[in-house]
Amino acid sequence: MNRVIKVAALGVACVALASCGTVSKMNPFHGPKSKIVAAKGERIPVLTYDTTVKPSDALSGVEIALPEAQPVAAWPLPGGNAEQSLENVQAAPDFQVAWRRDIGVKSGAKTQVTAPPVAVDGKIFTMDGQADVVATDAKTGRHEWRTNLRPKSKRDKEAFGGGLAVADGKVLVTSGFRLVAALDAATGKVLWQKNVTSPIHAAPTISNGRVFAVDLDDQILAFDVNNGDQVWSYQALVEPARVLKASSPAVLGDEVVAPFASGELVALSAANGNALWDQALSRTSRMNALSEIRDIPGRPVIYKGDVYAASQSGVFAAVDVRSGNPRWELPIASINTPWPAGDAVYIVSKAGEVVAVNRESGQVYWLVDLNKGRTRQEGGFARIGRHVVHPIWSGPMLSGDRLILVNNWGEAVTLEAKTGKLTKTIKIGDASYMSPIAYDGMIYVVTDNAKLVAIR
């Protein structure tokens, strides 16, 4: 399967991937071949399915109100905190690459770098394509320790995915090797390790002494952070096909909001795993067979009483966190995590369109196509059978008055948060499929080639 596209059809779907035609159908970034061919220079809109998303006339001339940027003293969880929401971060005013460091094994035919970085106590923690966890000095890029969690058995010699979170001096690790572990954050020593029945491709979320993670079988598991004992589990609808990007739960108090490949967004009691409510963020389109893949690959975000989440099948929604009632929906297909702040919530679609949405009404402030003018030809043989591709974007993150995104063409860009105007583009050297994080005035990006890039 094409690593650059970064999509895996898992479970039952893996059995079906016996031909190039089947792989093409499973690819969420390039739909099935159409008989309609665009004229040279004309782009076919792919953001929406049955309705049009466009800026609202009612919001014309209305300025987006944003909170003040705040320093980030710790980024211990994939989205910064248990709610997966940090509003506005103060980081990297120069927006220039400071340094790059290898962190281990890069993505390949049998390995994938999928773990977002986390940061506390002067260290950036990362995981490479073969379950090597590395602690790197945030200022210098010097490696402080490295711990490999790859099992010794031949049965489990190949796996990918997983992630990291930090709490109370422990680095919690989930892995495609079907394990959950805790390492000493200062030394990398393994404190405890537990085997689970299914691979875990997503990073864990930690809150109030519990570790929450979603496995490949659409089951959320809760563990005790001190000893790794499993406390409860909840089985959602099993979906065999999903996007490779994996999502982590969000937690607010005693409520855990978990995303699943079925398109279900489920709220559970953190104490016992009892279901509180569920919403289906999925839709089927006659225009796009890939809408049948209902996965929610981006993290749900809890912000000021609402949960914001998007599915790859084409639903971006705001849901009341207590009742589960939807407040608004937009037909935006995305594999990324929304970023709410102030009056707005920002999201980037699969088509590369960044959309600023009013949080209260769901009306659109502005929409910018980042892929306009970004095209190149790939594939084929001797220039026969080549096809046009566009970048795949990850983000956004709000830093000051800028939105920051990265792509698989090795670029990082900034946009004006209030207007969407592109203000700066820099090269980070390698493809990246994970959103950047902010820590102690810097921005950090993990690339597909297992590089940690620091941006000052």
**79-114 pLDDT tens trace:** 999 999 999 999 999 999 999 999 999 999 889 999
Q: Which two tokens stand for residue 59?
A: 């919001």
- For residue 36, name the pLDDT band (cuts at 50, 70, 90): very low
Q: What is the mean pLDDT of residues 309-322?
A: 96
Residue with tokens 């993670």: 213
Contacts of 44 (CB under 8 A, 6+ apart): 34, 36, 38
- For residue 160, name the pLDDT band (cuts at 50, 70, 90): confident
- For residue 22, name the pLDDT band (cuts at 50, 70, 90): very low
Chain-wide mean pLDDT for the chain?
Answer: 88
Peptide bond into 396 cis (omega under 30): yes
pLDDT over 90 (residue 380):
no
Residue 371 contacts residue 382 (beta carbons within 8 Å): no
Residue 436 contacts residue 86 (beta carbons within 8 Å): no
Residue 395 contacts residue 404 (beta carbons within 8 Å): yes
pLDDT over 50 (residue 432):
yes
pLDDT over 90 (residue 74):
yes
Q: What is the mean pLDDT of residues 281-292?
A: 56
Q: Which two tokens stand for residue 148?
A: 């490999």
- For residue 275, name the pLDDT band (cuts at 50, 70, 90): very high
pLDDT over 60 (residue 33):
no
Cα gap 292→314, rounded to integer Å: 10
Task: Decide which of 203 and 23 is more confident.
Answer: 203
Alpha helices in 66-215 (DSSP H): none
Residue 318 contacts residue 328 (beta carbons within 8 Å): yes
The DSSP secondary-structure symbol of 23 reads: H
pLDDT in tens, 337-377: 999 999 999 999 999 999 999 999 999 999 999 999 999 98
Q: What is the mean pLDDT of residues 133-156?
A: 91
Residue with tokens 């739960």: 249
Q: Which two tokens stand for residue 227?
A: 């000893």
pLDDT in tens, 161-214: 899 999 999 999 999 999 999 999 999 999 999 999 999 999 999 999 999 999
**Whole-number pLDDT of residue 286:** 43
Q: DSSP readout, 200-242?
A: --S--EEETTEEEEE-TTSEEEEEETTT--EEEEEE----S--
Q: Which residues pair with 118 in a beta bridge?
A: 125
**Whole-number pLDDT of residue 408:** 97
pLDDT in tens, 110-132: 899 999 999 999 999 999 999 99
Cα gap 135→118, rounded to integer Å: 10
Residue 229 contacts residue 180 (beta carbons within 8 Å): no
- For residue 155, name the pLDDT band (cuts at 50, 70, 90): low
Residue with tokens 């537990």: 194
Q: DSSP readout, 330-393?
A: E----SS--EEETTEEEEE-TTSEEEEEETTT--EEEEEETTTT--EEE-SBTTBS-EEE---E
**Whole-number pLDDT of residue 83:** 98
Residues in the chain: 456
- Coil, helix or strand at residue 119: strand
Q: Which two tokens stand for residue 52?
A: 């049009």
- For residue 378, name the pLDDT band (cuts at 50, 70, 90): confident
Q: Which two tokens stand for residue 44?
A: 């076919």
Q: Which residues pair with 329 in a beta bridge?
A: 317
Domains defined for the chain, CATH in brackets? 12-455 (2.130.10.10)
- For residue 382, name the pLDDT band (cuts at 50, 70, 90): confident
Q: How open is the CA angle 288-355-418, to the nearest 5 degrees?
A: 170
pLDDT over 90 (residue 135):
yes
Cα gap 194→299, rounded to integer Å: 24
Q: Which two tokens stand for residue 252?
A: 């607010």
Residue 219 contacts residue 236 (beta carbons within 8 Å): yes
Task: Decide which of 218 and 152 is more confident.
Answer: 218
Nearest to 245 by CA among 412, 432, 428, 110: 432
Residue with tokens 């953001």: 47
Cβ count near 146 (within 10 Å) = 14
Q: Which two tokens stand for residue 356?
A: 């600023």
Cα gap 42→339, rounded to integer Å: 30
Contacts of 177 (CB under 8 A, 6+ apart): 131, 149, 150, 151, 156, 159, 162, 199
Cβ count near 71 (within 10 Å) = 11
Cα gap 452→26, rounded to integer Å: 30
